[in-house]
Amino acid sequence: MIEKVISDIESNQDASVGRLHDLLRIPSISTDPGHKPDMARAAEWVHRLLVECGMESEIVETPGHPAVLADSGPAGVADQTVLIYGHYDVQPVGDESLWHSPAFEPTVRDGLVYARGAADDKGQVLAHLLAVESWMKVAGKLPVRIKFLIEGEEEIGSPNLGQLIREHSERLSCDYVALSDTPKFDDTTPAITYGTKGMVYKEVRLFGPKQNLHSGSFGGTLTNPGNTLAAILASLRDADNRVTIPGYYDDVRELSDQERASIRGLPFDEAGYLAATGAPGLDGERGYSTIERRWVRPTLDVNGLLSGFTGEGASTVIPAQAMAKVSMRIVPDQHPERVSAAFDQAVRSATPDTVKLELVTHSLCQPYVAPLDSAGMKAATQAMELGFGTGPVFTREGGSLPILPLFKEVLGADSLMMGLCDPNCNAHGPNEFFGLSDFRAGMRTAAYFVHLLANSK
């Protein structure tokens, strides 16, 4: 049966690309209230396609933009259920003058379709939808039970997703969550991302005099909040770029031998990575490779600094206050609440009583890592090899995806992140694109995945 499904996918390529273009023409920009009607139109488009696929589908309203929930019903072959997650909302266009063609008029050049949302995430999630359609058309039913959760608020932080999942937890219950909202490893190598970092995002505020003061009249007689904040921040890392906060590394899960060997065997282009940043050189925690620092080691970074006079010219003041925003990307087994509390204690200990300290927690996110030996992971691995013609590599991400620990906490399901798009696809930037060959490979991968999962043991 799987051969007939793949044949159907291959013979309907033009129609599939046409549907992709139809979806990409909808300017579903979630951050812009002026596009609220377009958000509703995109949700309706996804809903109609799911109904055409023979699934029970519903548009579920939230306090923000609607989500689409769908269910194929019980499967005929295997007692397995997969929830496919994706999002139909997209980023704003940005500077239109930087686009080579209009962002919401899909244009194909050299086998790449250019449009906002092409890779993030309309093209990738549509590959799964159309694979399900081919299965239903050819076989009349799916070998495993498939559910869909397609939201419209991912690009604004999914503020209502947690409540939606909790309210519909029974309806969304599954064995695995499958999603394609991550990239391939490089332009020719597919990837399965099995881990993401968590995050602790803090703000430090120091207050000194009631207003900016003349440094000639008051310099050397009062604590300067700018000087003090700079010293505090510098004290949080040592000469080896290790975080000095007491207990920071206590819960860090070290890599298994299998993971370390896998990471070190990746064809990582360190020179190309550096060149893309434009920085003079690479740096980081001593004793670890660049890719290990990026994926599996906890970090602490100053994201923003503000104090005193920063305008044109000179103004020699003692600043009344200073502020810094600091993020800590944490790894499996570290706890955001513990790390946040340890950060607060370290900053308090380093702050003199001649300034007032305020600490603000902006966000906490759990890290996530999926087991590599599950039946779902094995099926995803083999499916990508069959779909792309080459086996995937296993990667982690230095960023955070709050939905992954949320799915694990509420549904008890691990997530399988099958990256279909080019890592340089310009997601969030001008001239975003999705390769049509990757679109086809993604549909094949999605079709093989449900077949292999149904036959897994």
Residue-by-residue pLDDT tens, the chain, 457 positions: 999 999 999 999 999 999 999 999 999 999 999 999 999 999 999 999 999 999 999 999 999 999 999 999 987 656 899 999 999 999 999 999 999 999 999 999 999 999 999 999 999 999 999 999 999 999 999 999 999 999 999 999 899 999 999 999 999 999 999 999 999 999 999 999 999 999 999 999 999 999 999 999 999 999 999 999 999 999 999 999 999 999 999 999 988 888 888 898 898 999 999 998 999 999 999 999 999 999 999 999 999 999 999 999 999 999 999 999 999 999 999 999 999 999 999 999 999 999 999 999 999 999 999 999 999 999 999 999 999 999 999 999 999 989 999 999 999 999 999 999 999 999 999 999 999 999 999 999 999 999 999 998 6
Q: What is the pLDDT of residue 438?
A: 98
- Edge-to-edge strands of the sheet including 107-109? 107-109, 112-114, 433-435
Q: What is the pLDDT of residue 403?
A: 94
Q: What is the pLDDT of residue 74?
A: 85
Tokens 């937890």, located at residue? 169
Domains 2-196+367-454 and 198-264+289-365 share a fold: no
Q: What is the pLDDT of residue 456?
A: 86
- Domain spanning 2-196+367-454: CATH 3.40.630.10: yes
Q: What is the pLDDT of residue 457?
A: 65
Residues 6+ away with beta carbon under 8 Å from 215: 316, 317, 318
How far, CA to CA in Å, does 94 sit from each of 41, 97, 122? 22, 9, 18
Which CATH number is 198-264+289-365 given? 3.30.70.360
Contact between residue 433 and residue 426 where contact means Cβ atoms under 8 Å apart: yes
* Helix ranges, 179-269 (H): 215-218, 225-235, 257-264
Name the pTM for this structure: 0.89
Strand partners, 416: 178
Residue type, 163: Q
Q: Give CA–CA dist 145/171, Å, rounded.
A: 12
Residues 6+ away with beta carbon under 8 Å from 17: 108, 113, 436, 439
Residue whose C-alpha is closest to residue 1's, from 132, 130, 129, 143: 143
Gyration radius of the chain's alpha carbons: 25
Residues 6+ away with beta carbon under 8 Å from 392: 185, 189, 190, 191, 192, 381, 384, 385, 418
Tokens 């960023």, located at residue? 399
Residue type, 100: H
Domain boundaries, the chain: 2-196+367-454, 198-264+289-365
Q: What is the pLDDT of residue 195?
A: 95
